[in-house]
Amino acid sequence: MTTKGKLFLIPCPLGDLAPLDSLSPQIKTAIEQQQHFIVENEKEARRFIKRISPEKKQNELQLYPLNKYTTELEYRRYLDVCESGTSIGLISDAGCPGVADPGAVIVALAHQKNIQVVPLVGPSSLLMALMASGLNGQQFTFHGYLPIAAKERTQAIKKLERAALQNQQTQLFIETPYRNISLLGSLIQQLQPSTLLTLACDLSLPTEWIKTYSIQHWKKLKLDSYHKRPAVFLVHGPD
């Protein structure tokens, strides 16, 4: 009976750092040992693999796209190589595969097929932001992206603030960097003055900036310096 291959979950740096500055040495080993990779963006994946393992022959790589254009029929075949005894790597575009990342469907499929999943150590912007916020790390909820439309966004902000106040539960969410200022403005306008808001920008980079203030304090600050910077937002009730 053929031993099944494994699914290695391979994180990437959160920014343009030397990969091993923020990644486990296990990742270099995993990349050097695999030829098959499931990737969100082929160009970025090849660049990442080359930086980790310059001697690896790019023309021998087998890359399988996983993005908004990939159909279920396509991605359900990606783990066939594991069934035949060959391991495969799942590379996130930024951060950890399966966390705010389309790779979760591949991990779920691996469990269905009784394929061993091997998570490797790497940066998670959500956990790093929570660690550095000083907010409740025992109870928290991640909401992904809030609605773009003003009315729906206001309703979502009010709802997550109620959860934060009633349950003393940290609420985490993200935004496309070019809409940071718009979201930050909405939060400052809609949240109560004593509610706590953390903004964590450029995590793990030299320009990293993380602050937790009350909304009353945020209203005194200039907001333009946070434009187009990858960020995580966290909301919690007052201390």
- Between the alpha carbon of residue 116 and those of residues 11, 63, 66, the distances in Å are 17, 20, 20
Tell which residue, 159, 155, 209, 140, has the closest CA to residue 180. Answer: 209
Mean pLDDT of the chain: 93
Q: Is the pLDDT of residue 6 over 70?
A: yes
| CATH 3.30.950.10 domain range(s) in the chain | 125-236
CATH code, 7-119: 3.40.1010.10
Tell me which fold the domain 125-236 belongs to.
3.30.950
pLDDT tens for 157-179 read 999 999 999 999 999 999 999 99
Residue 208: the pLDDT is 94
Confidence of residue 1 (pLDDT cuts 50, 70, 90): low
* pLDDT per position as a tens digit, 38-78: 999 999 999 999 999 999 999 999 999 999 899 999 999 99
Q: Give kind and range of the element (H or E) at residue 9.
A: strand 7-10
CA pair distance 159, 153, nearest whole angstrom: 10
**Where does the chain hold its CATH 3.40.1010.10 domain(s)?**
7-119
Question: For residue 173, which of 138, 125, 207 has the smallest C-alpha distance?
Answer: 125
Distance CA 132, CA 55 (A): 37
DSSP 3-state assignment of 61?
coil
